[in-house]
């Protein structure tokens, strides 16, 4: 075989190899493109955000106790025996008690309202309420106990008095802003819980 023919054969072989390489490259691109678009068709967008999803997220904290009120109080009970509206002598019973307690206030999140628009996720919290109130029995002390044989002190006197005292302390705590603080704190607790969800759907989060 002449040198010219050998050279021609080598060139032809190289051209054929180059053509095969290009063809393989094109096929790879085509298969990749087909796989990409097919995969694109199979990839589903995340489901639309609805109130149920948000409620489920908030159920993680369900009942949210967000403010506490600690107190020490002293109260006096006094009662007289009467006859037709006239105070009877030697019928006074009296005692003074001191005690410690704590009141917890918060939000019941199952009552929260959720609204979702194209641009906003809005959570409207219900009014805060007192969730628990405990008196420390170990702290209870009784002073200046005055008894009368005509009007003895009973366990009902103590229980009724302490129940009235609890109501009075709750009213005082509310007057001092306990429920307002609880509602404000609830928003601060929920914000980091719901913000990632809102950001995932590119929504502005509003907690009110």
The number of domains in the chain is 2
Q: Looking at the structure, do residues 136 and 113 belong to the same domain, yes or no? A: yes
Q: Which whole number is the average pLDDT over 37-41?
A: 43
Residue 83: pLDDT band (50, 70, 90) is: low
pLDDT tens digits along 153-162: 888 888 999 9
> Could you list the residue range(s) of the whole structural domain that residue 19 is in?
1-44
Query: Tell me, what's the pLDDT at 48?
Result: 75
Q: Return d(Cα 19, Cα 104) in angstroms, integer.
A: 80
User: Taking 70 as the threshold, does the pLDDT of residue 35 lie above it?
Assistant: no
Residue 41: pLDDT band (50, 70, 90) is: very low
**pTM flag (> 0.75):** no
Q: Looking at the structure, do residues 122 and 19 belong to the same domain, yes or no? A: no
pLDDT tens digits along 165-194: 999 999 999 999 999 999 999 999 999 989
For the chain, give the percent of residues with pLDDT over 90: 46
Q: Looking at the structure, do residues 73 and 92 belong to the same domain, yes or no? A: yes
């Amino acid at each position: 075989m002449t040198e010219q023919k050998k050279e021609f054969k080598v060139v032809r072989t190289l051209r054929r190899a180059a053509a095969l390489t290009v063809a393989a490259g094109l096929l790879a691109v085509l298969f990749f493109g087909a796989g990409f678009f097919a995969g694109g068709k199979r990839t589903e967008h995340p489901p639309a955000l609805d109130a149920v999803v948000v409620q489920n997220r908030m159920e993680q904290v369900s009942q949210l106790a967000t403010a506490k009120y600690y107190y020490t109080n002293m109260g006096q009970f006094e009662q007289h025996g009467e006859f037709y509206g006239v105070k009877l002598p030697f019928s006074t019973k009296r005692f003074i008690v001191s005690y410690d307690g704590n009141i917890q206030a918060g939000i019941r999140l199952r009552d929260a309202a959720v609204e979702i628009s194209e641009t906003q996720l809005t959570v409207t919290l219900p009014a805060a309420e007192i969730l628990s109130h405990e008196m420390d029995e170990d702290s209870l002390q009784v002073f200046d106990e005055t008894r009368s044989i005509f009007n003895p002190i009973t366990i009902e006197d103590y229980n009724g008095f302490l129940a009235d005292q609890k109501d009075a302390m709750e009213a005082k705590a509310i007057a001092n802003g306990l429920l307002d603080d609880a509602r404000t704190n609830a928003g601060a607790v929920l914000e980091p819980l719901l913000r990632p969800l809102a950001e995932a759907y590119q929504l502005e989060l509003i907690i009110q």
